[in-house]
Chains A and B, each alone.
Chain A
C-alpha cells in the first residue's frame, strides 16, 4: 500500500456507497430499512430520492425514482406521471406499497407516498 493511500485512508470501493447521510428519523413506527425489503412484501420505507428518471414505458409517461436510505435502495415508479411536484433529487419521502421487480431491481409501482419536509 502506497504512502499516500495510508495517509488518506482506505478508498471507498462501492460506487453506491451513500456519500452523505440518508434520510433521518422515519415518520412512522412501521417503517423498515430498505436493505431488509424482500420481493412480494408489502412495505413502508422512508428515504431520500437519489435520482429521478423521466422515462416512457411503452408510450406511457413514467416517473422513476431511486429511493435510498442508509441500508440500501430500490426503485419507486409512478406510471402515467410525467412529473410530480415536489419529487426531485434530494426529496425525502415515505413510500408504501407492494414490492415488485423491474429491470432486475426491486421496485414499488404507484405507491402511496408522503413527502417529508
Chain B
C-alpha cells in the first residue's frame, strides 16, 4: 500500500490560484453592486393594480404635456379662439385612443408573448417590414426618454423657477440617474413603481375634482394674460374653425397625438401579468385608457375654461399654471400644488424609465434576428441588457441636448415614430385575422383594419403638417436605419454561412506539412529569453529568432551579443528595414515563410507586462502593432509570450546563457 507523507487536502475556497480582480471591475462592482447570478433571472408576475402602475406610466404621463402642445400650436395663430378648439381636438384624440385600445385588445389576445409590434409585423409581413416597425419602435423609445425627461425638467423648473437656466442639465441628469438605476438593475418591481403612478393619478383626480367643483360653483379663476414669456396671441377669426385653417387644426391634432403614446406598453409586456395573462392585460389596458381619457380631457377642459396660455419656452408648464390657479394661494392650495408638481415630475421620470425596460428588450429581439449588433443581446453585470441601455441613453441625450430639452420640438418626431409602429402593428393584426380565420375573425378584421387605417391617417397627418417642424428627421432616419439594418443582416448571414460550411471537413483536414516558429526579438534580454524558452517547447521544424533592424547599430550589437553568449545554435536573422516600419518588415518576413502554402507559422512576440498602468506609458506598443499587422495572414499564428516585471526580485529563472 502506498503511504504518503502528507495526504491531500481539500481544495481551497474560490480559485486555486489567487487572481486579484482588475481595478476597473472593482470600481464597477462598487458602483453597481454584486454581480447577479444567472439563475436570478426570474420573471416577476404582476397583479392588475401593479401592472397598471408599471406599464401605464408612459401613457398616463403623456397627459402632462399633451394639452399644452395642442395650445402651443393654436394660440399663436387664433389667439383666444384656441380655447374653443382645444376641447374638440382633445375629443378627436380620445376617439383615436378608443380605437387604439380596441385594436390592442385584439393584439393582446393574439400575441400574448412579448415583442409587440416587431413580432406582430415579423409574423405577418415578414422580416423586412418588421425592421421598419422595429426601427420606429426603437426611435419611439428613445423619444419617450427624451420627451419625458424634458417634460420632467420643465415640471421641476416650473416649481422652482431659479432652476430655469439649468433645464438641459437637469434633463441630462435625469437620464444619468435613470441609466444608473437601470444598470444596477431596477427590476420591474411593482411596489417601487406603484407609488409615483398612483400618486400622480390621485393628484390629477384631486385637481380635476377641485377644478370641476369650482367651475360648478362659478368661481373658477381665469389666467392672467399679461404675464411675461407667454406665447404671443393671434387673432381669432370667424367661421366653423374660428379663423384656424384646417391645416392648423390638423397640426394641433398631430401635436396632441403625443397623448396616446405608450398605449402599446401593455401589449409588449403581457407575459408579466398573472395568469390568465391576456385577460388581465386586456382589462388593465381598458382601465389605463379610461384613466388617460379622464385626465387628458379634464386638463384640456380646465385649460380651455381658464384660458391658460402656454409659455413660449414651455416653463412654467400649462399643468403647473392650472394647478396654481385651481388650488389658489392658501396653505392647503400650496401643498396640493407642490404634490401635483412632484407627482408630475415623478411620473415623467418613471415614463422615461419604462423605455429602459422596453428598448433593450426589443433591441435584444432584433439583434437575435441578426439585424442589430450582437452586443445588444449580452446581459451585463446585473443581468440587464447594459449595452442597449447605454445606446438608449446616448441617443436620447443627443436629442435632449440637440433640442435644448424642448418638449415642443421633440413631439413631432415622437408622434410620427409612434404612429408608424402602431400602423405596422395594426396592419399586421389585420393580416393575422385574414390568415388564420380564428373564431370571430370578421370582427377582428374590422377593429384592426379601422385601427390600421386611423393610425396610418394620423401618421400621414403628422408627416404632412409637422414635416418642417421636426417630423422630417424621422422620415429621413427610418429608411436610412432600415437600409443599414438590412445591410448588417446580410453581413451576419454571409459570415454565418461561411463559418458553418463544411465544418466536418475543416475539422478533419490534414495538418500543414511544416511548422516554422519565428521569435521576434528587439534586444537580447530576459523577456526575449523567456520567448525563446517557450519556442523550444513547441518542437518546430524550423526555429529562428528574427530581429528587424530599424537601427543598424542596435542590430550589430545584438548580433555581437548573440555570438558572444554562444547562442549560435539558434539562427538569428537580421532583416533590413530602411523605412523604419517595423510591423511591415515583420509582415514581409512572415509572408515569405508562408510562401510555399504548406507551412504553419507561429510568431512569438515577447510582451512585457507592467506592474503599474503608468509604466506602460513609458514604452511604445510595437508588439501589439506587429500582431495587428500579421492578423491579415492566414496561418500566421501570433502568440504573445508574457514577461512579468517583478519589483526588485528575480522571480523568473531563465538562464540566458544556457539556451
A interface list, Cβ under 8 A from B: 15-16, 19-20, 48-56, 61, 82-83, 88-90, 104
* 28 A–B pairs (Cβ distance < 8 Å), ordered by A: A15-B587, A15-B591, A16-B588, A16-B591, A19-B578, A20-B578, A51-B576, A52-B573, A52-B574, A53-B573, A54-B559, A54-B568, A54-B571, A55-B544, A55-B571, A55-B572, A56-B568, A56-B569, A56-B571, A82-B568, A83-B559, A83-B563, A88-B549, A88-B555, A88-B556, A88-B574, A90-B552, A104-B596
* B11 in contact (CB, < 8 A): no
Q: Which of A16, A54, A104: most chain B Cβ within 10 A? A: A54
* B379 in contact (CB, < 8 A): no
- Determine the chain B residues whose CB is within 8 A of the CB of A56 once the complex forms: 568-569, 571
Contact yes or no, A54 B576, CB < 8 A: no
Contact yes or no, B573 A90, CB < 8 A: no
* B22 in contact (CB, < 8 A): no
A-B contact count (CB 8 A): 69
Docked Cα-Cα span, A52 to B547, in Å, equals: 10
Docked Cα-Cα span, A90 to B584, in Å, equals: 16
- Determine the chain B residues whose CB is within 8 A of the CB of A88 once the complex forms: 549, 552, 555-556, 559, 574
- Determine the chain A residues whose CB is within 8 A of the CB of B572 once the complex forms: 53-55
- Determine the chain A residues whose CB is within 8 A of the CB of B568 once the complex forms: 54, 56, 61, 82
Q: Which of B568, B595, B596: most chain A Cβ within 10 A? A: B568
Docked Cα-Cα span, A53 to B559, in Å, equals: 10
Contact yes or no, B544 A15, CB < 8 A: no
Contact yes or no, B544 A89, CB < 8 A: no
* B579 in contact (CB, < 8 A): yes
Identify the closest chain B residue to A15 (Cβ): B591
Q: Which of A61, A90, A104: most chain B Cβ within 10 A? A: A90
* B650 in contact (CB, < 8 A): no
Identify the closest chain A residue to B594 (Cβ): A15
Interface residues on B, range: 20 to 34
B622 to chain A, nearest CB (A): 18
A62 to chain B, nearest CB (A): 9
B363-392 interface with A by 8 A CB criterion: none
Once A15-B591, A54-B572 are accepted as A-B contacts, the answer to whether A89 and B549 lie under 8 Å apart by CB is yes
Contact yes or no, A15 B588, CB < 8 A: yes
- Determine the chain B residues whose CB is within 8 A of the CB of A15 once the complex forms: 587-588, 591-592, 595
Q: A53-B572, A89-B555 are in contact. List 4 more A-B contacts (CB 8 A).
A: A53-B571, A54-B573, A55-B571, A56-B569
B interface list, Cβ under 8 A from A: 544, 549, 552, 555-556, 559-560, 562-563, 568-569, 571-579, 584, 587-589, 591-592, 595-596
Identify the closest chain A residue to B572 (Cβ): A54
Identify the closest chain B residue to A90 (Cβ): B576
Contact yes or no, B559 A50, CB < 8 A: no
B629 to chain A, nearest CB (A): 11
- Determine the chain A residues whose CB is within 8 A of the CB of B549 once the complex forms: 88-90
- Determine the chain A residues whose CB is within 8 A of the CB of B569 once the complex forms: 56
Docked Cα-Cα span, A50 to B578, in Å, equals: 10
Docked Cα-Cα span, A49 to B572, in Å, equals: 15
B518 to chain A, nearest CB (A): 12
- Determine the chain B residues whose CB is within 8 A of the CB of A19 once the complex forms: 578-579, 584
Identify the closest chain A residue to B563 (Cβ): A82
Identify the closest chain B residue to A104 (Cβ): B596
Identify the closest chain B residue to A89 (Cβ): B576
3 closest Cβ pairs, A-B complex: A89-B576, A15-B591, A55-B571
Docked Cα-Cα span, A117 to B635, in Å, equals: 40
A16 to chain B, nearest CB (A): 6
Contact yes or no, B592 A16, CB < 8 A: yes
Docked Cα-Cα span, A19 to B582, in Å, equals: 13
- Determine the chain B residues whose CB is within 8 A of the CB of A16 once the complex forms: 588, 591-592, 595
Docked Cα-Cα span, A15 to B596, in Å, equals: 13
When the two chains form the complex, which single residue of A50, A55, A61, A82 contacts B576, counting CB atoms closer than 8 Å?
A50
